Structure 1
Amino acid sequence: MKLADPDRVIAAARSWLGTPYHDQASLKGVGCDCLGLARGIWREVVGPEPFPIPPYSRDWGETGPREVLAEGARRMMPEITPADATPGSLVLFRVMPRAIAKHVGILTGPYTFLHAYERLGVIEEPLTNAWRLRIAFAFLFPQR
């Protein structure tokens, strides 16, 4: 599988900066959550979404042991180890220890990432050690 140019992924991600946070949305400049941001970047870099995302509750990550986000990403993206994640990689974070991964971001540099954060919208911020230690899975965007 050919991989998308990481610079293209990062440019697409940064074009979402300032988009307000909106649960379950995926419209640049209008609103998105972290999954909606990843879906929007996919549409810009790869093409149409390969399958519809079913509605999900705000507490979906607390309702079961399955790694739902990782399973979905594996269906369409090559997985790499978190240690091998570089700028342009999609990363999944465990917000709480021993919980499933339920937050999504895009690495934009060796020490920065971009994500949709409740109350703040789409922001780019430092990948602090606290964030880095929460990365549970990493994936690469395929080429269109």
Structure 2
Amino acid sequence: MNTADPDKVIAAARSWLGTRYHDQASLRGVGCDCLGLARGVWREVVGPEPFPIPPYSRDWGETGPREVLAIGARRMMIEMSPADAGPGALVLFRMKPRAVAKHVEILTGPDTFLHAYERLGVIEEPLTAAWRRRIAFAFLFPQR
């Protein structure tokens, strides 16, 4: 499977900057959460979403035996080692130790990322050591 052009992924993601945070939404300029941002970038870069997203919990401390977000990403994206993830990659973060990965971000540079964050909306910020150590999974968008 060929991968999408990272520059197109980053440009699509940056077009969401300033979109307000809204749980389980995915509408550029209106509202989205972190998964909604990734879904919107997918629609622009790859095409229609391949399956509906069921409702999900906002609990970042959720634990359990199944990495539901990673399983879903594996169905449609190209998994890679988090250590190899670069600009244009979608990364899943584990916000608390031993919790399942529930936060989605798109790397925009070697040390920057873009995400939708509660109360702040879609922002781009430095990929600090504190953020970097939370990366649990990494994926590339497939080519259209």
TM range (shorter): over 0.9
Q: CA deviation at 1:128?
A: 0.1
**TM-score, normalization by structure 2:** 0.97
The number of residue pairs the alignment matches comes to 144
Question: How far apart in 1 are the matches of 2:20 and 2:99?
Answer: 26
Q: What residue in structure 2 maps to residue 47 of structure 1?
A: 47
Question: How far apart in 2 are the matches of 1:61 and 1:138?
Answer: 20
Question: How far apart in 1 are the matches of 2:65 and 2:38?
Answer: 22
| CA 97–63 in structure 1, closer or farther in 2 if over 3 Å, else same | closer
Q: Does 2:107 align with 1:107?
A: yes
Q: CA deviation at 1:60?
A: 7.5
- Do the aligned partners of 1:61 and 1:101 also contact (CA within 8 Å) in 2? no
5+ residue gaps, structure 2: none
SS of aligned partner of 1:40: helix
SS of aligned partner of 1:101: coil
Which amino acid in the other structure matches residue 65 of structure 2? Answer: P
Question: How far apart in 2 are the matches of 1:61 and 1:96?
Answer: 6
**TM-score, normalization by structure 1:** 0.97
4+ residue segments displaced more than 2 Å: 57-61
Q: CA deviation at 1:63?
A: 5.5
Q: What residue in structure 2 maps to residue 35 of structure 1?
A: 35
Q: CA deviation at 1:56?
A: 1.7
Question: How far apart in 1 are the matches of 2:2 and 2:56?
Answer: 31
Q: What residue in structure 1 maps to residue 83 of structure 2?
A: 83
SS of aligned partner of 2:124: strand
Within 5 A, what are the aligned runs for 1:109-128? Answer: 109-128=109-128
Percent identity, please. 87
Q: What residue in structure 2 maps to residue 70 of structure 1?
A: 70
Q: Deviations 1:68-98 (Å, cap 9, x if unpaired)?
A: 1100000000100000000000000000011
| CA 105–143 in structure 1, closer or farther in 2 if over 3 Å, else same | same
